[in-house]
């Protein structure tokens, strides 16, 4: 069996079902494709993947003036200019399909969110043979802290920090349904890169086929789907105020808005909704601003163009920055064209001023 065949057999979501014969074939080919490795050799790289300096990145994205206007300082640390190096693009600590510590060389960045002390970046294994991860960076120093490994093998998309409940929401797709699961802060703090973190509580998000986008709107969870045709739905969910551990249940959205196509990220800031849309290496990404009270998100009051392959965007806790995560520096895509190997901190106040 080829490695490609292996991958197709191995890709399971948590709670998925595989027939016995296929499972045996998958385990055999995994043994052929993955050599034993010492735990001491399992690390997450922290060097920039494409550009040695922010100046090089600035030069590479000069065809998108909005990046310069919204994204490059001045900031406290001039060498960063508000950017965070995305770790783990060459190699990242993870777990193999069998649950053993392993190094993944095909992690693909997806989500980004901020806690009081950390910037969190989610990523999934493009080859679908390793567990998804969350990279933890120090919010102030921009230095890498650790890798958190997610239980199961979800194709992890967006993540969202919930200040009210002190948990991280993760798009998990349990049983091939649209679900969002929590990780309590105490689990994140104690997590290591040799063992999967424990989930808190999982909700099935009624009315969505899949939840590729997540964000918080005060104490409500907002989720949306990526679709290349038709009308994308964005829904608001009231997840309650009780402790988010120990149970699974289905919840219904209490508000729905349609968007269009290619939705990759959602953020809510005050009276505005911000969407990120992209698809592939040749389509310019767009940030679109809509009034929050607009019935359907079909007439943006402001649009900013960014490089291709923009994924999640999220609002900082201070409400002054919009973090933007790109998947273009992942191994599967970095040969396609211009890449962005850092999280950008865009000037949210300038962006919203354009909408006035």
pLDDT tens digits, one per residue of 186-195: 999 999 999 9
321-328 average pLDDT score: 97
pLDDT at 149: 97
Query: How does DSSP assign 111-132, residue by residue?
Result: EEEE-SSEEEEEEEETTS-B--
Instruction: Say if residues 216 and 234 touch (Cβ distance below 8 Å).
Output: no
DSSP at 139? T
DSSP at 150? P
pLDDT at 230: 73
Instruction: Say if residues 328 and 308 touch (Cβ distance below 8 Å).
Output: yes
70-95 average pLDDT score: 85
140-149 average pLDDT score: 96
DSSP at 15? T
Q: From CA 298, how far away is CA 279, in angstroms rounded?
A: 18
> For residues 162, 325, 156 and 334, what is the CA-based torsion angle, rounded to 10 degrees?
-170
pLDDT at 31: 41
Q: From CA 164, how far away is CA 280, in angstroms rounded?
A: 35
- The mean predicted confidence, pLDDT, of the chain is 86
Q: From CA 198, how far away is CA 191, in angstroms rounded?
A: 9
Instruction: Write out pLDDT tens, residues 27-67.
Output: 434 443 344 455 557 899 999 999 999 999 999 999 999 99
Residue 98 in this model has a pLDDT that exceeds 50:
yes
Lookup: tokens for 64: 């998108």
Instruction: Write out pLDDT tens, residues 259-268.
Output: 989 999 999 9
> For residues 179, 184, 190 and 191, what is the CA-based torsion angle, rounded to 10 degrees?
10
The bridge status of strand 167-171 relative to strand 159-162 is antiparallel
308-335 average pLDDT score: 96
The total of other beta-carbon atoms located within 10 Å of residue 244's CB is 21
Query: How does DSSP assign 184-239, residue by residue?
Result: EHHHHHH--TTSBPPP--EEEEET-S---EEEEETTEEEEE---SSS--EEEEE--
Q: For 221, what's the count of Cα atoms within 13 Å in the CB-facing half-sphere?
A: 34
Given strand 310-315, what is the order of strands in its sheet? 84-85, 342-347, 321-326, 310-315
Residue 23 in this model has a pLDDT that exceeds 50:
no
Question: Which residues in 133-172 are b (16+ Cβ under 10 Å) and which e?
Answer: bbbbbebeebebbbbbbbbbbbbbbbbbbbeebbbbbbbb
Instruction: Say if residues 205 and 196 touch (Cβ distance below 8 Å).
Output: no
Tell which residue, 221, 205, 97, 209, has the closest CA to residue 159: 221
Would you say the pTM of this structure is higher than 0.95?
no
142-157 average pLDDT score: 91
Q: For 161, what's the count of Cα atoms within 13 Å in the CB-facing half-sphere?
A: 22
Which domains are present in the chain?
1-33 (no CATH), 39-353 (2.120.10)
Report phi then psi at 58, rounded to 5.
Answer: -55, -45
């Amino acid at each position: 069996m080829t490695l490609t065949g292996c991958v197709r057999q191995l890709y399971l979501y948590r709670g998925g079902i595989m027939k016995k014969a296929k499972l045996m074939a998958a385990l055999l080919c995994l043994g052929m494709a993955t050599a034993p490795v010492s735990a001491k050799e399992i690390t997450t790289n922290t060097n920039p993947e494409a550009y040695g300096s922010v100046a090089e990145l600035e030069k590479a994205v000069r065809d998108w003036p909005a990046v310069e206007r919204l994204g490059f300082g001045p900031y406290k640390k001039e060498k960063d200019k508000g950017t965070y190096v995305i770790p783990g693009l060459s190699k990242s600590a993870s777990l193999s399909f069998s649950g053993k510590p392993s190094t993944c060389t095909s992690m693909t960045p997806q989500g980004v969110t901020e806690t009081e002390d950390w910037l969190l970046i989610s990523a999934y294994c493009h080859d679908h043979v390793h567990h998804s991860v969350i990279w933890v960076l120090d919010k102030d120093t921009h230095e890498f802290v650790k890798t958190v490994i997610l239980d199961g093998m979800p194709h992890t998309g967006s993540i969202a920090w919930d200040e009210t409940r002190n948990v991280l929401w993760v798009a998990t797709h349990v049983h091939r349904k649209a679900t969002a699961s929590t990780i309590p802060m105490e689990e994140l703090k104690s997590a290591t890169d040799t063992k999967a973190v424990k989930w808190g509580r999982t909700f099935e998000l009624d009315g969505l086929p899949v939840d590729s986008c997540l964000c918080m709107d005060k104490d409500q969870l907002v989720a949306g789907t990526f679709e290349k045709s038709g009308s994308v739905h964005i829904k608001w969910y009231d997840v309650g105020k009780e402790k988010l551990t120990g149970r699974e249940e289905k919840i219904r959205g209490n508000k729905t808005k349609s968007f269009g196509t290619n939705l990759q990220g959602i953020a809510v800031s005050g009276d505005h909704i911000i969407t990120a849309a992209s698809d592939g290496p040749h389509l310019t990404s767009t940030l679109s601003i809509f009034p929050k009270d607009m019935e359907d998100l079909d007439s943006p009051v402001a649009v900013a163009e960014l490089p291709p392959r923009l994924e999640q965007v999220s609002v900082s806790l201070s409400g002054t920055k919009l973090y933007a995560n790109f998947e273009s520096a992942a191994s599967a895509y970095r040969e396609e064209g211009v890449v962005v190997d850092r999280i950008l901190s865009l000037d949210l106040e300038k962006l919203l001023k354009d909408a006035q």
